[in-house]
Amino acid sequence: MQKAWFYEEHGPKEVLKLGDFPIPSPLHNQLLVEVRAAALNPIDSKRRQKPFCPSEFPVVPGCDVAEGQPKQLGTLAEFIVVEESLVAKKPKNLSFEEAASLPLAVQTAIEGFITADFKEGDNFCSWWSTRKVEFVKSLGADEVVDYTKTRYEEIEEKYDYVYDTIARLKNSFVVAKDGAPIIDITWPPSNPRAVYSSLTVSGENLEKLEPFLETGKLKAVIDPTGPYNFMDVIQAFGYLETGRARGKENGHPLHHLHLHSNPSSSNLHDFLVPHAQTLHRQRHKNPNYAPVNGTVFGQLFYFNNLYDHQTEVAQKQRTFRLLGLEESELYTTDTRNIEHMLKTNFDKYSKGMYNQDIVTDLFGEEEMLLNLSDSCPRLRLLKGFFDMQDVLMRCTLDSIFKVGFGVELNCLEGYSKEGTAFMKAFDDSNALVYWRYVDPFWKLKRFLLESDKDPEKMNRYLRDIILNFMIAGKDTSANTLSWFFYMLCKNPLVQEIVAQEVRKVTGSSQDDDEVEDFMAKITDTTLEQMHYLHATLTETLRLYPAVPIDGRCAEVDDVLPDGFRMKKGDGLYYMAYAMGRMTYIWGKDAEDFRPERWLSNGIFQPESPFKFVAFHAGPRICLGKDFAYRQMKIVSIALLRFFRFKLADDTKKATYRTMFTLHIDGGLHLRAIPRTRL
């Protein structure tokens, strides 16, 4: 047994008690350490005072460090278990007290400099109160502004960067130069000039600091009121909550408590391992956890290019883990893991309440996989530049409503106001609901709006079915066709090969076809013979899958084929977008658009569905796969037979809008050049 501080109810510092706890046992790739120094952060007080984030009583303060052990076990104990990837060796010239003062503060500062791309000669501004002005000057600051005495509007000098750690974003803009970046670590900002920076925790980051610490370029700052003994935890919390902590508060052996003066709560995982003594490591018995690559909410910083960020990480780590408030999320490109989840151990994984709760407001409670329409919309003569993605969205929306519900929506032909408004509302909802995956406060926002709903005014069952039809029948096909025509414009030779195949298979000449006559030539046999078109559509889906990331939740503890451990409740996500760019899966030319990779002697050759996961795989493979190909082929054949397409702006690169489906941000503006008379 070991001694640890804990609380069994939320409240003031007096709810803390000292008691006995079992010594945790390390799993594979974990370390059991004896804590020689620890630090308190404001987040520890907030969690104790009220239900700041989910936790089970009893709670040992000191941040969530024992992954794989009860979440309530923190650093205010004699022993903790941490992952080996988060450990860094303590510099020899630092005491345990000094080492304990560094990890969160130093990594937070460096993360801000990296985010801002801070360079020598740039002016950097941060905020301080009166009682800390002299302290900051003693650290080497050229100029210090006392915000309790000086109005921001009175500050004459403007700064190249502002680093906001105390939620004063409005004032930060007043002192920043025009266009200067504002780095905010307290809350994801809505202003496009401000960026949110969250800390990526790793032992590797700490090890990079060792030369600066050994040479004295970085120094530990210890609050003069310390050190605090392990028995004085309540007193230490009392001083922390006065808001006067400066630097760190040191404690005496056996345990040292350091009070963190930075109010940031961006890092809930200040492991403080560099100052811990390793007692035991377990490597031979249990599977290890996937390496940690940050937090779930840290993805906010990369949200606009989320899938490319995931691709960069996956190129270094085929499977990695992001830490959440409750469970972890594993992300993988390993085809063995995907087959394990979607087929071999299908019963061990489900959508899970976490995913279901997020998407219910958009898709409802009915989970369906639907067939797509096989109807072909009438061609319209296109003049000048137009938004191809908008046309395709209207086309597929008309299709699914006519086939699924017998309703003529007329979004394409008549540009129905109701249909257009519905389509825009659905697309906006798609993006807003997807934001919940990285927004820790979405449930609170929904709660504040929940009273406006009147469930008696809607037939939820029918609504849910219609919305599921929408996502299956509109977005997936339209988005794929949009990327398909974008890639044809970027690769005009491929576009011409597809057009030649269309003319050859349908037996149509260059000049003698009318639209109606040509459409009559498109049969099931015709569609099956267009192998190059099928390969081009598939190559588009490989690089631009309609659903860029998908996954399941573990219903039981499990071990993946690559050796990484899954706990019940953990999410496992396969990154279809990233997988299409992995050289170990597709070869050195993985990022090249090359339809020929799917052909052998001119005949289309499919790949394993666990390698090409655009249509999911296993028992829940998309039922509408064949219908989707059919619909996309019909639209492509009709358009490419009569038009040649070019980008309105050849220099503009298409980017995506981060949402459930891979939507081209801003639309796809093309120019249609008639191949023959209509």
Burial (Cβ within 10 Å: 0-12, 13-18, ≥19) of residue 507: exposed
524: number of Cβ within 10 Å: 9
277: which strand partners?
34
From the centroid of its chain, how far is CA 323?
A: 12
Name the band, by pLDDT with cuts 50, 70 and 90, for residue 512.
low
Q: Does the pLDDT value for residue 352 go beyond 70?
A: no
Options 3.40.50.720, 3.30.70.20, 3.40.50.2300, 3.50.50.60; which CATH number does 105-196 get? 3.40.50.720
- Taking residues 162-177, what's their average pLDDT? 69
Buried/exposed 61-77: b ≥16 CB within 10 Å, e otherwise? bbbbbbbbbebbbbbbb
Topology of domain 369-545+591-674 in CATH is Cytochrome p450 (1.10.630)
- Taking residues 454-481, what's their average pLDDT? 62
Q: Does the pLDDT value for residue 388 go beyond 50?
A: yes
Domain ranges of the chain: 2-100+209-282, 105-196, 369-545+591-674
8 Å CB contact between 575 and 314: yes
Buried/exposed 391-413: b ≥16 CB within 10 Å, e otherwise? bbbbbbbbbbbbbbeeeebebbe
Residue with tokens 């046309």: 391
Name the band, by pLDDT with cuts 50, 70 and 90, for residue 543.
very high
Question: What is the C-alpha separation between 252 and 226, in angstroms, rounded?
Answer: 9
Q: Annotation-wise, does 53 bind a ligand?
A: no
Lowest mean pLDDT among 274-278, 373-377, 405-409, 497-501: 373-377
- Taking residues 561-572, what's their average pLDDT? 90
Question: What is the C-alpha separation between 121 and 300, in angstroms, rounded?
Answer: 29
**Contact residues for 148 (Cβ-Cβ < 8 A; gap 6+):** 129, 130
**Contact residues for 323 (Cβ-Cβ < 8 A; gap 6+):** 64, 67, 268, 269, 292, 294, 295, 296
pLDDT computed for residue 501 by the predictor:
95
Q: How do residues 178-220 score in pLDDT, each as one tens digit?
A: 777 777 665 555 555 555 455 556 667 777 777 877 777 777 7
* Helix (DSSP H) and strand (DSSP E) numbers for the chain: 23, 28
State the average pLDDT for the chain.
74
Name the band, by pLDDT with cuts 50, 70 and 90, for residue 68.
very low
pLDDT greater at residue 543 or residue 225: 543
Name the band, by pLDDT with cuts 50, 70 and 90, for residue 263.
very low
Please give the angle made by the CA atoms of 635, 640 and 644, to the nearest 5 degrees.
135
pLDDT computed for residue 624 by the predictor:
76
Question: What is the C-alpha separation between 328 and 290, in angstroms, rounded?
Answer: 10
2-100+209-282: CATH class: alpha beta
Stated pTM of the model: 0.52
Question: What is the C-alpha separation between 171 and 240, in angstroms, rounded?
Answer: 26
- Taking residues 530-557, what's their average pLDDT? 94
8 Å CB contact between 30 and 82: yes
pLDDT computed for residue 379 by the predictor:
35
pLDDT computed for residue 611 by the predictor:
94
Q: How do residues 219-232 score in pLDDT, each as one tens digit?
A: 777 667 766 788 88
Please give the angle made by the CA atoms of 460, 461 and 466, to the nearest 5 degrees.
95
Q: Does the pLDDT value for residue 361 go beyond 90?
A: no
547: which strand partners?
none
pLDDT computed for residue 403 by the predictor:
57
